[in-house]
Amino acid sequence: MKEGYWINYKTGKEFPVDEHERWMRKGKNAQRLGLPDRVLDAFGEFEPVKDRDKMLLFIMQHAPVMRVRGHGNYVTFEYASRSRRDPMDAIWMWGLDNAGPLTGIYIVDTATNEKTSIYWKDFLRAMEEGGPDAVMRVASTMQMRIKAKIASELLDLARRFIGEKETMHWSIVGKE
């Protein structure tokens, strides 16, 4: 999946997009998504394309909307909210229509600086068993287990490499 979306997580409105900034600036799209007038009035402060990232972050910080983008086997959800309930519910609703069990879900909350990664099947289980807080706990724990496993494998490889290097060093020194 490579599609993109804007989702208003307060109203449930969802719109497919080709490019997030371009879609937002086109016609009445921002109003249809439900952006407040004060956010719409600020669009002129951002130079198209050049200030894209600043503008999108500003929008997410001042309106209950999230940016969604597919990247093949995983999907990124980016928003800015101190509350987890509405954004997680929006991810849940989107995923019920669009995700498979092994679709990777990458969640970025710019308000809290939380980032996490979880498979859709694990997201569903966590939401059903403990809600939005459980998603963040399970995903964080899963990430740490993966990182710990990778770190352990790297340490094991390093030990083997260092051991081989010392053996090579001694055999070279012994021949001189």
Q: How confident is the model at residue 149 (pLDDT cuts 50, 70, 90)?
A: low
Whole-number pLDDT of residue 89? 96
> 171 by DSSP, 3-state: which?
helix
Q: Structure tokens of 29?
A: 């799209």
Give the C-alpha separation, 56 to 161, whole Å. 46
Q: Is the pLDDT of residue 6 over 50?
A: yes
Q: Is the pLDDT of residue 4 over 70?
A: yes
For 82-130, what is each residue's pLDDT tens digit?
999 999 999 999 999 999 999 999 999 999 988 889 999 999 999 999 9
Q: Is the pLDDT of residue 21 over 60?
A: yes
Q: Structure tokens of 46?
A: 């951002």
Signed CA dihedral, 135, 132, 4, 23: sign only:
negative
For 25-42, what is each residue's pLDDT tens digit?
999 999 999 999 999 999
Rounded to an integer, the average pLDDT of 135-143 is 64
Q: How confident is the model at residue 1 (pLDDT cuts 50, 70, 90)?
A: low
Whole-number pLDDT of residue 143? 47
> How many other CB atoms sit within 10 Å of the CB of residue 111?
13
Whole-number pLDDT of residue 160? 72
Residues 6+ apart with CB under 8 A from 66: 6, 7, 9, 60, 77, 78, 79, 87, 90, 91
Whole-number pLDDT of residue 176? 41
Whole-number pLDDT of residue 32? 97
Give the C-alpha separation, 52 to 166, whole Å. 52
Angle at 80 between CA 79 and CA 84, to 5 degrees: 85
Phi, psi at residue 26, to the nearest 5°?
A: -85, 125
